Amino acid sequence: MAKNIQAIRGMHDVLPQHSPLWQHLEQSVAGVLASYGYREIRMPILEQTELFKRSIGEVTDIVEKEMYTFEDRNGDSLTLRPEGTAGCVRAAMENGLLHNQTQRLWYQGPMFRHERPQKGRYRQFHQIGVETFGMAGPDIDAEVILITSRIWRALGLDGLELQLNTLGTAEERATYRDELVNYLQAHHDLLDDDSRRRLAGNPLRILDSKNPAMREMLDAAPTMSAHMGDVSRAHLDFICETLTRAGVPFVLNPRLVRGLDYYSRTVFEWVTDRLGAQGTVCAGGRYDGLVEQLGGKPVPAVGFAMGLERLVAVLEEIDPDAGAVSADLYLVLMGTAAEREGLVLGEALRNALPGREIVCHCGGGGMKAQFKRADRSGARYALVLGDAEIEAGTIVLKPLRSDEEQFVLARDAVVATVVERLSA
Ligand code: HAM
């Protein structure tokens, strides 16, 4: 027998018992974003490989070893997007959204990275991301962080820690980078292979290393703050003061550097301790150089993206029943005439009860089997219709979640009675 075909490693189905929680998450986030005046943009999942190389950076884990890159039938090199920022910048530039205007945009969808799968880390995962353009001051940095905080409140998520850092401007970072490289070279014997490789191309990333053998040496490494100019310092101060006044606690983490090259000044991450090693549920920052780097006039930009699989996992851990949905009413239909009548009655009931879940049994089967389905649907009531009821012009209403006895209704009283019962 042929072997069953399975999903690709690290790529998962969202099963029907989980999709209500996904929908709740997506709708809650969309609602908060709309309340701040953000507009949705939808970009293709495939882009030219060059876009990611030029934006995320050649010497990053993503571009070096995680992209799904292939040649299409014309021989063009295409890549499944590993993140949304690059595509969003491309789309905004290409469609003239950045010319003399500000933009507050959001997007959602699947991203692809060929990482080693583990809990919270997948090869296809989903993000909701925000990108803002044309605003240079720290007010918009603070706004996007306030948005994330409001999203957690809307979802009932607590226990997340906000970590904040500044990477300074490109010039400030360059002088810091030189000092850091000198320090790391002086401790070359303590560096692991990965860090030695990064020393030339991306030394700041070494600060982010999780290797405990390097911890002490990295803790003593020089930090960015000595190289920060007045403007960068004031930028960070404004954000810190605004967050404090708005009641959003944060931790300044000078080791927070991020895995993508496009950031300048503000970077931040929201971290949970509920997910083990993959604890970052949302991350972002300012990237003032990226539009120019991709060939446009300089446009300041700030954004973030949250990982939906990780948020779903945290929500499920807090409340295992989160997102559970059930039917309100199940129609048990015995025989062809009842099936036909039932479907028509179902329409009348849905007209009268918008938003309620009313399920007509389809596919036949005996009374016992149909009641089993009715019970599994979680419905509070069943309506039972068979040949005898059709003949008598009646229907049976049976409460499924209480000891109350079933009773017989006249057909023309069904809709009003069900409306009354379900509204109680
Ligand atoms: P990122 O830190 O690479 O940033 O990803 C953002 C979030 O996506 C992470 O914090 C995590 O929750 C989730 N995530 C990333 N990789 C995986 C994975 N393999 N499996 C599951 N979840 C994952 C960005 O992507 C930037 N584009 C964010 C940004 C937008 N910065 C500015 N604007």
Query: Rounded CA gap, 300 and 171, in Å?
Result: 16
Phi, psi (rounded to 5 degrees) for 118: -160, 180
Q: According to the model, what pLDDT value does residue 277 have?
A: 84
Average pLDDT of adjacent 10-residue blocks, the chain of 424 residues: 93 95 97 98 98 92 94 98 98 96 98 96 98 98 98 96 95 92 94 90 86 92 90 97 98 88 94 91 97 96 98 94 91 97 97 97 97 97 97 97 96 96 91
Pocket of ligand 1 (CB under 6 A): 83-85, 113, 115, 120-122, 125, 127, 129, 131, 259-260, 280-285, 287, 303-307, 309-310
Domain ranges of the chain: 19-168+228-318, 329-423
Query: Rounded CA gap, 424 and 419, in Å?
Result: 9
Write down the architecture of domain 329-423 according to CATH.
3-Layer(aba) Sandwich (3.40)
For ligand 1, what atom is nearest to the CA of residue 121?
Answer: 20
Task: Please check whether the domain covering 19-168+228-318 is classified as CATH 3.40.47.10.
Answer: no
Q: Are 165 and 228 in contact (CB under 8 A)?
A: no
Tell which residue, 255, 285, 254, has the closest CA to residue 269. 285
Paired with 387 in beta bridges are none
* 122 Cβ neighbours under 8 A, 6+ residues apart: 10, 11, 12, 115, 309
* pTM score over 0.85: yes
Query: Rounded CA gap, 294 and 303, in Å?
Result: 17
Cα(360) to centroid(ligand 1), Å:
42
Query: Rounded CA gap, 269 and 374, in Å?
Result: 45
Q: Are 12 and 111 in contact (CB under 8 A)?
A: no
Q: According to the model, what pLDDT value does residue 328 have?
A: 97
Q: According to the model, what pLDDT value does residue 409 have?
A: 97
Return the best residue to mutate from 9, 52, 111 for the ligand 1 pocket (most ligand atoms within 8 A of CB). 111
Phi, psi (rounded to 5 degrees) for 98: -105, 0
Cα(85) to centroid(ligand 1), Å:
10
Q: According to the model, what pLDDT value does residue 191 have?
A: 93
Cα(307) to centroid(ligand 1), Å:
6
Q: According to the model, what pLDDT value does residue 209 have?
A: 85
